Amino acid sequence: MIYLDHNASTPVRPEVAEAMREALAGSGANPSSAHREGQHERARIEQARERVAALVHAHPEQVVFTSGGTEGDHLALMGAAWGLRERGKTVAISSIEHHAVHGAAAWLKDLGFTIEHLPVRPDGMTDPSIVNDLPRDTSLVSLMLANNETGVLQPVAAVAARAHARGMRVHCDAVQCAGKMPIDTDALDIDYLVISAHKIGGPKGVGAVIVRPGAPLMPLLRGSGHERGLRGGTENLPGIVGFGCAAELALRDLASERTRLLALRERFEHGLKAIAPDAVIHGTSAPRLPNTVNVSIPGARSDHMLMALDAEGVAVSAGAACASGGVEPSPVLAAMGVPRELAICALRFSSGRTTTEREIDDALAAIGRAVPKARALAPA
């Protein structure tokens, strides 16, 4: 199989699996226990915390472990909005956020908050000046670092500067950026930054929120003092250890992987244009992640391409939502103003650590065979 769906999830790195195996084979003591065995397990968690903090240039005390990006986004958005409710009850999110952020915003709406949606330009980027137009009672602005569908990088630092000047806090979903681009939480000036282990060669079901000291945050899960009282529940020790190991390796390999993935992306995009000169690659006029290509090949619908590529052993994601009996344009592409007939042909190819040049060439050959099949299936 040629796996080009690394934005959905990544294979667990062998070193990570080994670190987790070792953690599972430990004493089994609770990291909160005062005895020596407990403290030994605690030390494993604190070492992972240091490694995760280093990946995003933060201090270990800022790291709050969660069950993943979705919980992290919920904790950051809901916990911050609730903690800041005296300041105002409007929360602004960009219109291209992941479902995890839209879901948390929907909860806030049910709780009586007003949600503002920031538009994006046709190039897929948010215009930072839009922050100046937000209502005065906006307490929190949420903007992702890189979009999961198009890979387009967002002007988070510029948005944060404007938001802070107006007394608003900033949440940033950095799930797709971690391990692919350097992240400096301080330089970006973010109050709440969210990352997830399974996007960087770590296990599924573990993530973190990086919280600026003093930034208000009400815990969603309460009951005990875990994670400095911000996230109750006995820690997922093997998951956290795996996350720490993955973070350390991702930081070590960051520069070399970025260069390698960029070269693969260029090779792939060049090949795509040779197969289908009318192919439209979304977001190319903006800075993008080195591993993500979102492309529409006119007349070749996403669902038909996905099936044809799957039969060829190439795993990718549709850049459109498959609805019963058809496809719907992705809200991200719709927000960018991509015409419907093009948006329903969008496919997302995302490479990663295991992707080789040979796989890119083989995937291109498979795409070349899939396009005429998909075009033949599309309604006139």
Note the residues at the interface with ligand PLP (CB under 6 A). Answer: 68-70, 73, 98, 100, 144, 148, 173, 175-176, 196, 198, 207
Q: How many whole angstroms separate alpha carbon 359 and alpha carbon 351?
A: 10
Contact 223, 60 (CB under 8 A): no
Measured between alpha carbons, how far is 48 from 5 in angstroms, rounded to an integer? Answer: 26
Active-site pick, 172, 177, 245, 322: 322
What are the C-alpha distances in Å from 137 to residues 87, 94, 128, 141, 189? Answer: 7, 17, 18, 11, 21
| 322 assigned to active site | yes
Q: Where are the alpha helices (DSSP H) in the chain?
A: 14-24, 36-55, 69-83, 99-110, 156-165, 185-188, 237-275, 302-311, 331-335, 340-343, 357-377
Closest separation in Å from C-beta 275 to ligand PLP:
27
Q: How would you label 314-323 residue by residue, b for 16+ Cβ within 10 Å and e otherwise?
A: bbbbbbbeee
Location of structure tokens 């409007």: 90
Q: Could you give the CA distance from residue 3 to residue 13 in angstroms, rounded to a whole number?
A: 15
What's the CA gap between 374 and 303, in Å, rounded?
A: 9
Toward ligand PLP, which CB reaches closer, 194 or 367?
Answer: 194
- Of 92 and 100, CB closest to ligand PLP: 100
Q: What is the Cα 119 distance to its own chain's centre?
A: 19
User: Residue 149 CB, nearest distance to ligand PLP (Å)?
Assistant: 9
Name the residue with the smallest CB distance to ligand PLP: 69
Residue 347's beta-bridge partner residues? Answer: 295, 318
Question: Least distance from C-beta 358 to ligand PLP, angstroms?
Answer: 27
Reading the block at residue 85, the tokens are 């409710």
* Nearest to ligand PLP of 283, 299 (CB atom): 283
Q: Which is nearer to ligand PLP, 173 or 303 (CB)?
A: 173
> CA 89 to CA 81: how far, in whole Å?
7
Q: State the residue for tokens 């991702």.
A: 250
Where does residue 299 fall: left (phi above 0), alpha (psi -120 to 50 degrees), or beta otherwise?
left
Least distance in angstroms from the C-beta of 74 to ligand PLP: 9
| Shortest CB 177 distance to ligand PLP, Å | 9
Nearer to ligand PLP among residue 69 and residue 219 (C-beta): 69
Closer to ligand PLP by CB, 181 or 371: give it. 181
Cβ closest to ligand PLP, residue 44 vs residue 98: 98
CB of 144 to ligand PLP, least distance (A): 6
CA-closest candidate to residue 199, choices 120, 131, 156, 146 = 146
| DSSP one-letter code for 11 | P
DSSP state of 299: T
We find the least distance from the C-beta atom of residue 228 to ligand PLP, in angstroms, to be 21
> H or E segment at 138?
strand 138-142
Q: Is the Cβ–Cβ distance between 303 and 289 less than 8 Å?
A: no
Residues annotated catalytic, as ranges: 322
